[in-house]
Amino acid sequence: MSIKDKIIFIVIFILIVGGAYIQFSYFQIMDRMDVLEEEQIKHVVEVNKEFREDLRKLTLQFTGRGKHLRRAQEDIIANTKLIHSTADSLSGLIEDVAFDLTELDREVQKRFYSIEEDISDLEDDFKSERRKNSRKLSDIDQSITALQNDLKEIENLNLIQKEKAKAEKDKK
């Protein structure tokens, strides 16, 4: 036997061992799946029994409560009608308040406009008065300057100069 044949035998042996292991694992998993399926069926039956029992108890509890349910439904309907009527009356009141606010806004705008006009008129009057006062002050300044100039001219006259000199001599 050559090395080539030995390698082929080893590879075939490994493949046979691997196949046997896979087959063994497959059978174990299938057995476990059968056990799990049986347990699931038992569990579903138990859960269904419990559910049916609980459903039967609830049915018994709610039997005779139809009257209470009808009363609750009637109360809900009455509350709904009350809510709708209250909402209608509130919407009317809201519209009235909105109208009143609009009217108030108009009145306030008119008053502000009137006040602004009055302020503008007062500003014009103030500016006019200021200009008059400025002119009067300017006229008074000019008059004072003219009087001072006239006084200097009068003092510069020879006759007054002589009188001043005489008055100084008399004092001494």
The reported pTM is 0.36
Note the pLDDT of residue 64.
Answer: 60
- How many whole angstroms separate alpha carbon 168 and alpha carbon 170? 5
Residues of the chain with pLDDT under 50: none
Give the integer Cα–Cα distance in Å for 27 and 85. Answer: 75
Query: What pLDDT score was predicted for residue 60?
Result: 62
Q: What share of the chain is helix, strand, coil (3-state, %, to 5)?
A: 95, 0, 5
Res 107: pLDDT: 93
pLDDT recorded at residue 67:
67
pLDDT the model gives residue 150: 83
- Return mean pLDDT, the chain: 86
User: How far is Cα 117 from Cα 123, in angstroms, rounded to an integer?
Assistant: 10
pLDDT on residue 170: 80
